[in-house]
């Protein structure tokens, strides 16, 4: 069904693998569309109780595919800029409980995808960053309210404004992660949590998820993120932002 994902379902536990390992699972427009479709597909499978979201290869995700930045002058640019928000909302609105399985890099849009999941377990070697401002763009896709929800406003401002890297222990201390384990124990830890949840009565688990999401959505206003695409497109034509983006991309090409 999918070109950039691996999707499976067995025994009530679904798996949703980002499968662009040669690109460190960069989130292309096709990947964003496929993630949205896969989330809706799981909702149609009545046996789905838990979905594990992970990345093949060396990383969970290196973030948005920089080669596919929307061109403001092209028709459909806003729709392209809005794909990440639509994806994050589809993941967050899944009926099943979702577990992000994090390793390697979890960057930018990949971090937003992880934040849209209900639970997060990371390897102790996982590294996080939010480089959007270095790219001359705001953090979009509903990333700001989701980070405020998980780690609070002050740390959200710091991490987004500085673009600095942080490790799994800091992410755990901040409340972004449920658990940190050694890399060779990651698969076992995620599977154990998935099995534990899948063994519970499905209805009260789903009700608990919906109840918590309803409370936090009122606190952080994730529904306001419909305008993120407009802010993203505005930054694409700002001269200072363009210069920052060009400098960042040049730095990425250096050996």
90 and 53 in contact (C-beta within 8 Å)?
A: no
166-167 and 127-129 beta bridge pairing: antiparallel
In a domain? residue 241: no
pLDDT of residue 250: 82
Q: Which two tokens stand for residue 225?
A: 């993120």
Dihedral pair phi/psi, residue 25, rounded to 5°: 55, 40
Neighbouring CB atoms inside 10 A of 189's CB total 19
Look up tokens 């920052």; give the residue: 244
Torsion of CA 97, 54, 8, 193, to 10 degrees: -40
Dihedral pair phi/psi, residue 9, rounded to 5°: -150, 120
In a domain? residue 66: yes
Dihedral pair phi/psi, residue 175, rounded to 5°: 95, 5
pLDDT of residue 229: 87
What is the tally of structural domains in the chain? 1
170 and 164 in contact (C-beta within 8 Å)?
A: no
Dihedral pair phi/psi, residue 59, rounded to 5°: -150, 155
β-sheet with 119-123: strand ranges across: 5-10, 13-18, 50-55, 97-102, 119-123, 179-181
pLDDT of residue 248: 85
CB burial readout 129-165, b (16+ within 10 A) else e: bbbbbbbbbbbbbbbbbbbbbbbeeebbeebbeebee
Among candidate residues 94, 13, 1, 17, the one with its CA nearest the CA of residue 48: 13
In a domain? residue 39: yes
pLDDT of residue 254: 53
In a domain? residue 24: yes
Q: The CATH number of the domain where 144 resides is what? A: 3.90.226.10
What range defines the domain where residue 149 resides? Answer: 5-183
193/209 Cα distance (integer angstroms): 15
pTM of the predicted model as reported, rounded to 2 decimal places:
0.94
First to last CA, the chain: 37
In a domain? residue 240: no
In a domain? residue 147: yes
pLDDT of residue 167: 98
Mean pLDDT by 10 residues, the chain (255 residues): 96 98 97 98 97 98 89 81 95 97 98 98 98 95 95 98 98 98 98 98 96 86 78 88 87 65
In a domain? residue 239: no
In a domain? residue 170: yes
CA distances from 147 to 42, 49, 75 (A): 25, 25, 31
């Amino acid at each position: 069904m999918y070109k950039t994902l691996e999707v499976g379902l067995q025994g009530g536990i679904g798996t949703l693998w980002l499968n662009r390992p040669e690109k460190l699972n960069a989130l292309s427009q096709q990947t964003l569309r496929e993630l949205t479709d896969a989330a809706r597909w799981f909702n149609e499978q009545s046996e789905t109780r838990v979905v594990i979201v992970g990345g093949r290869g060396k990383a969970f995700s290196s973030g948005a595919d920089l080669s596919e930045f929307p061109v403001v002058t092209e028709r459909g640019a806003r729709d392209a800029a809005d794909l990440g928000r639509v994806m994050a909302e589809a993941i967050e609105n899944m009926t099943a409980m979702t577990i992000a399985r994090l390793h390697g890099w979890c960057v930018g849009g990949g971090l937003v995808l992880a934040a849209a999941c209900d639970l997060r377990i990371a390897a102790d070697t996982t590294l996080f960053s939010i480089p959007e401002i270095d790219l001359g763009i705001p953090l979009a896709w509903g990333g700001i309210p989701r980070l405020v929800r998980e780690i609070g406003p002050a740390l959200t401002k710091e991490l987004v404004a500085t673009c600095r890297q942080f490790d799994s222990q800091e992410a755990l201390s901040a409340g972004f992660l449920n658990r940190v384990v050694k890399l060779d124990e990651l698969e076992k830890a995620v599977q154990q949590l998935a099995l534990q949840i899948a063994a519970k009565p499905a209805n009260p688990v789903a009700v608990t998820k919906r109840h918590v999401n309803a409370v936090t959505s009122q606190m952080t206003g994730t529904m306001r993120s419909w305008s993120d695409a407009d802010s993203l497109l505005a930054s694409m034509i700002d001269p200072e932002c363009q210069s920052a983006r060009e400098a960042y991309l040049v730095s990425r090409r250096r050996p």
